[in-house]
Chains A and B, each alone.
Chain A
Amino acid sequence: MNWSIKLMKMLLSNILTYKFFREISFHFILAFLISASLFLEINKYFDFLLVASVTVYLRNKINFPIFYVLSLFLWGLYADILIGYPIGYTSCIFLFFYILSEFCSLFVESRNIKPRFYIFTLGLLFFLITEYLIIKLSFKVNLSFDIMLIKYFLISLIFYPMCKISLLIEPYNEK
């Protein structure tokens, strides 16, 4: 009985002091990136939603996985209502990168940046091509391939620094 109370206390303090704070910080970063994508003019060239997706992909240690998945879905809805995208669009992007990250974690260690980068770039390429095809088929519009490539390389370019920061923030050996 005594040890269970101790365990409860330890868990609670752990959640409240560190894990909980980290969870809140992550969601605040997501909210900030979504909000910034609304107000900044640079967003035309540098997509903040894709930057948010990189953040989702780079998350190593998830404390409350089911809550996390649901929150990604809700943040997607929040972004769609705010920016004016069709409802469900951003949730799809976030969940796609979450599943990609989980798939990646099965085979690659979180400190191993290179393989993670390759999987990410392949995933991003798959996502952009799918999106391009949907736009082409739904709206019958041929989008500029150059602009898509620039966005692809810009996002790939920020992957390394973001990955380094994420590894610094999120302890790799945490149990």
Chain B
Amino acid sequence: MRSLEHNSFGFIKNNYLRTIGIAVVLGIISLALIYIDYTNKIYATSRANIRDVILSTSSVIATPIILLENGLLTARKINGLYRDLQEYDDEQALISSTFQELSTLRLKVDKYESDLKIIKENKFESISVEIFADISNRYFSSILLKAGSNHGLKENNIIVSSNGLIGRVSEVSQDISRGILLTDLSSRVPVSISDKDIQGILIGQNLKKLRIFYIRELSKININDLVMTSGKGGVFPSGLLIGKVSKINNKDSFVEIDIFEDPGNLSKVRIIKYELVNKADEDAFK
């Protein structure tokens, strides 16, 4: 309890009220700041640049705990190393034959495309990038990547792993970028379900399971149907694998899916610098 013994009541009251008043005003300013327009380019760039500076400070402050966690992770990795080596040996023979099969198929597809005079829709260029930190939290799922505009990264570049789509790049500074994961609450991806090409919108729930809403033909969907990007909207190319259907909720008209890749298990990802071939198409999407 606040003691009145050593101060006059007036002093405490004024000082107390003044501090509380400042706290309330700052609270209102904070609430107002939450609703700032995030799409503003200058705002996004300056935020990314400031983050670069404070990120280095934070990594120094958190060094002891980072070292501790890295040590534990390394011990766990060493534990599983022998088993992985055995699995690797078994897979080697399989990969070799699969690679040959893929090369043959690629050649066939190229030939058919040239015979049918199909215009190539997209061009892909990709780089491998290390994950700097997984900053997923209570309601937001995102990662920091050790690459930025200096490495040719741009906003909305696509983040994938060997198993499928993970998310997209949302903020880019010179050497660090932030990627929003599919599980983030603000993530929206147009998807196509099963070979029947049923369309929907994948919405992040900040849970391992994602949900697809706005589906017109829910009755045609089956459990274990594959889910991939539809290419609508122009941000993601079509045909990128995401996961498979695990539950169909007819009452609330949504489908729940298991994603193929858990970003928490990854240390590196691939960034696809997706661009539409025709500039006119790109402008049309804007």
Which residues of A pack against B, CB within 8 Å? Answer: 28, 31-32, 34-41, 43-44, 47, 49, 65-66, 68-70, 72-73, 76, 78, 81-89, 91-92, 95-96, 98-99, 102, 105-109, 131, 135, 139, 141, 143-144, 151, 175
Contacts and interface: CB of A to CB of B under 8 A. Distances in A.
19 contacts: A34-B58, A36-B62, A39-B58, A39-B59, A43-B137, A66-B19, A70-B22, A70-B26, A73-B26, A81-B47, A82-B51, A82-B54, A83-B137, A89-B34, A91-B33, A106-B2, A109-B1, A141-B203, A175-B6
B30 A76 contact: yes
A135 B185 contact: yes
Contact of B135 (A68, A83, A89, A143): A83
B27 to A, nearest CB: 4
Interface stretch (B138-146, B154-162, B190-198): B138-146
Nearest to A90: B30
A105 B142 CA distance: 38
Contacts, number: 136
Contacts of A37: 137
Interface of B: 1-2, 6, 15-16, 18-20, 22-24, 26-27, 29-34, 36, 38, 47, 50-51, 54-55, 58-59, 61-62, 65-66, 69, 133-140, 142, 171, 178, 185-186, 203-207, 264
Q: Considering the complex of A and B, which 5 residue pairs feature the smallest CB-CB distances, nearest first?
A: A88-B33, A35-B62, A88-B30, A91-B30, A35-B58
Nearest to B50: A81
B61 A88 contact: no
Contact of B205 (A32, A49, A95, A141): A141
A105 B1 contact: yes
- Residue picked from B6, B33, B38, B55, most chain A C-beta under 10 Å: B33
B51 A69 contact: no
B167 to A, nearest CB: 13
A148 B141 CA distance: 16
B143 to A, nearest CB: 10
B231 to A, nearest CB: 24
Contact of B34 (A31, A39, A72, A86): A86
A42 B24 CA distance: 32
B1 A87 contact: no
A69 B20 CA distance: 9
A98 B33 CA distance: 19
B137 A92 contact: no
